[in-house]
Structure 1
């Protein structure tokens, strides 16, 4: 049965982050990324952040992110998602490069239209933009049956405007799931400490900018970056490793695991097998995804990746990710119902990021930076 959000889930509390705070964090962190020469930000000098944010919610009804659009020469070049709740951890949750644009009003109107058509006697209770299958975004309309009192959720994808069935994600099938609840598994107290450390970093950047007469809310100029770089980096050493593995888009909706395996095959063996060949070696049966145990059939096979000691790990920590990358080993990084490749990491102060190559056609163009804490499993590659 679908989980209907409680009204109290949307109320502001002591853990809430205001839109003003989030905008400040987005600007300061963008300066930080550029000043520390973070991969993906090479062309962001001269960019500015639109102060008009999009509020994104979790399917549970919890406010999740403030999504800020980054423009350069009036062109959308990036998106920065800032935590709307301190219990999520560090402030920057996700950075996308050259994202596909969508119109939130159109998406929400479509969701309402479908809800009215499917439940003509129902009452629309709410419509919100949600992260329904991280990092996928859409609209969620809740409609209440006036006779039975039952509540129903209608999800519409932001990019396709297609209805997304309200069914839970599984290991092999995409669906609706809560990234908010997943991130809380890292420990609320630990997450709040990470948010506080991020806040301290932002305040130090603000102070450095004020001292140099730089507005952090203005477009980031090369001159201002030169003024701030020394101050931003003087008290710490950022660490970043990106192995640069090639990213491929999955060619069907259920080929995320084969596409990820193809990325790894290209990196380790410099070969590019067809995704259908990989899927068949994983004993895939269309139109279904494949379990980790089935994915290992390809990883282990001498006719596949030929890494017979590869294994699944579901006890996730950041240190193991850095160890894999430091040893030149990109790996399969799984979130609920979806496989991706992790090819790098970054440590900025206490903030911890993974560089994710996502085969979903919406995101595959340029790997994104993701705050550590979203994964449910990994496959480590071993000879």
Structure 2
């Protein structure tokens, strides 16, 4: 529905206001002081064709230090859908060019219907070209990873294998009523911060200096934000299918236990399903696990539960189709934001 679409201009206001709230409340955003947001976002789509995110780049000293993803549809929930720190660079133009090139080679008699940048395997980004067979009318999708420019097979993701899946449909599967309420809360926060800043002569659409941030904090403009972050170390996965093992190593190290990713991978029986991953966490340290016998699987956690875990110094493992990551913190602006190690 058009009424639920979020324009780029509206998204830019949300990105700026939320950046200020995060800088004020969360030490992880210390480096973002005096940074600025490029007002021209990269438009990212879902494999279903729905516009998904406005991706804004955050610059400091002419270097990209982060990205803010604002939902392009209010039905997705809170306006800020994802934030990344020091993101790996990619060239969208080159990715789309490569996707078109492959499409022409594989379907020389087809007509190219569209080429878009997509989130094909959240949070992985790539280019998607849709080619229509002129004889049968059948449409083929060609995916190219934005970072490697490698072709990605158009196969659905499973619990154990990465692949193509719709984060848009995933967000909407439990209905849109609560999501729309969360977007309204985001909008209220945005308008509140924008108005308070304007009243104090601060333009939030330009880089915010440390002095101005401090003025907003001192005047209680954004003290409504609460946050907590656990000191969970970040480890990159050592093999393409080691995301569960890498997450396990992060949590193990947090509890001062040293296990290699290979050891964890084997303990998890290759980390294929949830029960195998839980086995590592509940098995005693003497037997090679972490000894966290209270570990359990909750397929539908709510923010208050995750917040409680973090407040009690317990990091949480999060699973999405074909991928595992660690939740190590949160920010609460009235809408909950989870901080992941990924």
More helix by share: 2
1:317 aligns with 2:314: no
1:356 aligns with 2:336: no
Within the candidate set 95, 117, 127, 2:83 is matched to 95
Within the candidate set 18, 27, 31, 2:16 is matched to 27
Q: Which residue of 2 aligns with 1:242?
A: 229
Taking structure 1 as the reference length, the TM-score comes to 0.85
1:106 aligns with 2:88: no
Could you tell which deviates more after superposition, 120-129 or 316-325?
316-325
Conservation of the 8 A alpha-carbon contact between 1:330 and 1:343: yes
Within the candidate set 241, 244, 268, 1:257 is matched to 244
> Which whole-Å CA distance do the structure 2 matches of 1:204 and 1:263 have between them?
37
| Cα drift, residue 227 of structure 1 | 2.7
Q: Which residue of 1 aligns with 2:281?
A: 299
> Which whole-Å CA distance do the structure 1 matches of 2:340 and 2:27 have between them?
12
Within the candidate set 49, 53, 63, 2:41 is matched to 53
Could you tell which deviates more after superposition, 133-142 or 270-279?
270-279
Q: Which residue of 2 aligns with 1:373?
A: none
Could you tell which deviates more after superposition, 117-126 or 307-316?
307-316
TM alignment of 1:1-383, pairs within 5 A? 13-36=2-25, 38-231=26-219, 233=221, 237-268=224-255, 270-284=256-270, 290-302=272-284, 303-348=288-333, 350-358=334-342
Residue deviations 1:251-273, cap 9 Å, x none?
Answer: 111111111111111112x1221
> Which whole-Å CA distance do the structure 2 matches of 1:66 and 1:25 have between them?
11
Conservation of the 8 A alpha-carbon contact between 1:40 and 1:97: no
Instruction: Mark the runs of 5 or more structure 1 residues left unpaired by the alignment.
Output: 1-11, 359-383
Conservation of the 8 A alpha-carbon contact between 2:143 and 2:151: yes
> Which whole-Å CA distance do the structure 2 matches of 1:41 and 1:222 have between them?
12
Conservation of the 8 A alpha-carbon contact between 2:21 and 2:225: no
Conservation of the 8 A alpha-carbon contact between 2:257 and 2:290: no
> Which whole-Å CA distance do the structure 2 matches of 1:51 and 1:310 have between them?
43
**Paired residue secondary structure (1:80):** strand
CA RMSD after TM alignment? 1.5
> Which whole-Å CA distance do the structure 2 matches of 1:325 and 1:31 have between them?
23
| Cα drift, residue 173 of structure 1 | 0.7
**Paired residue secondary structure (1:312):** coil
Conservation of the 8 A alpha-carbon contact between 1:32 and 1:232: no
Conservation of the 8 A alpha-carbon contact between 2:22 and 2:331: no
Conservation of the 8 A alpha-carbon contact between 2:157 and 2:163: yes
Conservation of the 8 A alpha-carbon contact between 1:144 and 1:151: yes
How many residues are paired up?
A: 339
| Cα drift, residue 232 of structure 1 | 5.4
| Cα drift, residue 26 of structure 1 | 1.0
Residue deviations 1:116-149, cap 9 Å, x none?
Answer: 1111111100000011111111111100111121
> Which whole-Å CA distance do the structure 2 matches of 1:282 and 1:53 have between them?
40
Conservation of the 8 A alpha-carbon contact between 1:208 and 1:232: no
